[in-house]
Structure 1
Amino acid sequence: MESFYVWSIVISSFCTTLGALPVLFIRHLSHRGKDSLLAFTAGIMVAASTYGLIPSALKLSNVYVLIIGILIGTCVLLFLEITVPHQDLDNANHQHHNGSVFLFLVAMSLHNLPEGLSVGMSYASAYEDLGPLVSFAIGLQNLPEGFLVALYVLLQNISRIKAVLYASITGVIECCAGLIGVYFGESFTSIIPYGLAFSAGAMLFVVYKELIPESHGDGNERVSTVSFILGFIVMIVLTHALR
C-alpha cells in the first residue's frame, strides 16, 4: 500500500473534523443554510456515484455485477436503517431532543463505512485517476456532514470541544474503512467492482432516503433544488478536471 493512498484516505476522513470546527464559533444555523448544505452534499454524492463509481465498476466487470453490488449496498443500508435506532439529521437543529447521542453517532458511523470503503476500493482499482476523484468527492461532502453531526451533539448540552471530538470519531471510522477497502482491493481484485457498486448503492440510498427529504423539510425546496444542481455540476467539473 503506497503512502500516498494512506495520506489521501486520512485527509479525506479528516475533512469531517474540519467541517465540525465551525461549531466552536457559530452559534446559529438557519434552516435554509442547513438545507442548502444537505442538498449541495447530495448533488456531490450523486455525481460521484454516477460519474465515478458506477462507470468504473462497469469498466472492471459487467452490468450484472453492477446491479448486484448496488442492490447489496442498498439492502445493507436499508437493513441498518430498520434495525439500528438512530436520529436523522433533520433533528440536528432541535434542542431538548430525547434521542440518544450514542445511537446518533452509531448511525452516522455506519453511514460512513461505505464512504470509506468507496475511497479505499477506488485506490485499489486499476484506474489511477479514480482514487483521487472519489477521495476528493467524499472529503468534500464530509465537510457539511461533520458540521451537522457536531451541531447535533452540541445541542444536546454537550461541550463544543466534545462535539468536535465526537464528529471526528465518525471520520476515524471512515478512515479505517478506507484502509480496509485498500487492503481487500489489493488482495482480492475480483471484489473491487462489487465494492465500487456497493458504495454507489449505499451513497444513493443515503441521498434519496435522508439528504433530499431532509433538505426539503423546512419549506426550502427551491433553494435546496438549486443547491443540489450546483453540487452536481461542481462534481462533474471536478471529475473532468482531475482526469
Structure 2
Amino acid sequence: MQEVLLGSVLSALSTGLGALPILFLSQVTHKWRDVLLAFTAGIMMAASTMSLIPEAIASGGLIQLTIGLFFGVLVLTLLEKNIPHIDLGHNNKGIEVDQKAALIVAAITLHNIPEGLSVGVSYASSVSETGNLIAFAIGLQNAPEGFLVALFLIQQKISKLRAFIIATLTGAIEIVSAVIGFSLTSFVTFLVPYGLAFAAGAMLFIIYKELIPESHGDGNERFATYSFIVGLLFMVILLQLF
C-alpha cells in the first residue's frame, strides 16, 4: 500500500508540476503545447498497448480484456457526455469566472478519477514494475493538463498563484481513486485483468479523444506527429529497461 500511495501522490502532484511554469511565463505558444500533448499521447499509447493489454491477457484472457477495455471506454464516454467540457488548448472565447471556471475545474477533477484507478489497479498487477510505469505515464499526462488548467484560469483573471494551487488540487482525487482501485483488485484477485484492461481502455480513450485532436488543432500536425513517435519510443525504452 505504501508504494501505491507514493506512486499515486507523485502522479497526482505532476499536475502541479505541470502548472508550475505558469508562475513565470506570460504566454506559451500553441506549437509548444501541441508538441507536449502529442508526446504525452505517445507515452500513454506505449504504456497501454505494450504493458497493460499484454498483462491483462496474461492474467486473464481475451474475454476479460474485451470486457475491461470496453468498460473503461464506457466510463470515459459517460463522463464526456455528462460533464461540461471546455477545449482548454483552443478556447478563445471570453468566459465568466464564477460559472465556467468552476465547471472546468470540476470536469478535470472528475476526469482524473479513472486515471487514479488505472494507477491503483496497475500496482495490483503481478508484475512489480507495472504500477511505477503507469504512474509515470499518467503523471506525464497530468503535467500538460495541469498547465492548461492553470493557463485557462489565468486567462479568466485569476491570480497566477491561485491558479497554480487550484490546478494542483485537481489531481488530488487520483490519490483516493488509486487506493480504491488497488484495494478492489488486491482483495478480489479475479478483478485484476479487468482492472488492467479498464485502465488501458480509459487511457486509449484519452489519447484518441482528447490528446491527439487537441495536438492537431492549430496547424502543428507534423511536429505533433514527430513528438508522438518520440514519446512512444521513450516509453518503449523504459519498458525494456525496467
Specify if TM > 0.5: yes
1:97 to 95, 98, 104: 95
Determine if contact 2:8/2:119 at 8 Å carries over to the other structure: yes
The CA deviation string for residues 13-63 of structure 1, in whole angstroms up to 9 with x for no partner, is 111111111100011110101111111111111111111111111111001
**Cα displacement (A) at 1:82:** 1.3
Gaps of 5+ in 1: none
The CA deviation string for residues 187-206 of structure 1, in whole angstroms up to 9 with x for no partner, is 21111211111111111111
Quote the residue 1:12 is aligned against: 11
The CA deviation string for residues 98-119 of structure 1, in whole angstroms up to 9 with x for no partner, is 5711211222122211211111
CA spacing shift, 1:159–1:95, aligned 2, 3 Å: farther
Counterparts of 1:188 and 1:204, CA distance in 2:
25
Quote the residue 1:71 is aligned against: 70
Letter in 1 for 2:227: S
**Cα displacement (A) at 1:96:** 2.2
2:166 is equivalent to residue 179 of structure 1: no
2:229 is equivalent to residue 224 of structure 1: no
**Cα displacement (A) at 1:64:** 1.0
SS, match of residue 82 in structure 1 = helix
Quote the residue 1:165 is aligned against: 165
Quote the residue 2:82 is aligned against: 83
Counterparts of 1:105 and 1:18, CA distance in 2:
17
Counterparts of 2:56 and 2:102, CA distance in 1:
35
**Cα displacement (A) at 1:95:** 5.9
Letter in 1 for 2:137: A
Gaps of 5+ in 2: none
**Cα displacement (A) at 1:140:** 2.1
The CA deviation string for residues 178-231 of structure 1, in whole angstroms up to 9 with x for no partner, is 111111122211112111111111111111111111111111110110011111
SS, match of residue 109 in structure 1 = helix
Determine if contact 1:46/1:204 at 8 Å carries over to the other structure: yes
Residues 130-209 of structure 1 mapped to structure 2, 5 A cutoff: 130-209=130-209
Letter in 1 for 2:140: L
CA spacing shift, 1:223–1:69, aligned 2, 3 Å: same
Quote the residue 1:24 is aligned against: 23
Determine if contact 1:36/1:215 at 8 Å carries over to the other structure: yes
Q: TM-score, normalised by structure 1?
A: 0.94
SS, match of residue 89 in structure 2 = helix
Q: How many equivalent residue pairs?
A: 240
Counterparts of 2:191 and 2:118, CA distance in 1:
12
Quote the residue 1:33 is aligned against: 32
Counterparts of 1:89 and 1:80, CA distance in 2:
17
Q: TM-score, normalised by structure 2?
A: 0.94
Counterparts of 2:190 and 2:162, CA distance in 1:
41
Runs of 4+ in 1 over 6 A off after TM superposition: none
Letter in 2 for 1:153: L
SS, match of residue 121 in structure 2 = helix
Quote the residue 1:129 is aligned against: 129
**Cα displacement (A) at 1:90:** 2.5
Q: Percent identity?
A: 50
SS, match of residue 25 in structure 2 = coil
Counterparts of 2:141 and 2:105, CA distance in 1:
17
Quote the residue 2:43 is aligned against: 44
Determine if contact 2:4/2:178 at 8 Å carries over to the other structure: no
Determine if contact 1:95/1:156 at 8 Å carries over to the other structure: no
The CA deviation string for residues 51-79 of structure 1, in whole angstroms up to 9 with x for no partner, is 11111111110011111111111111111
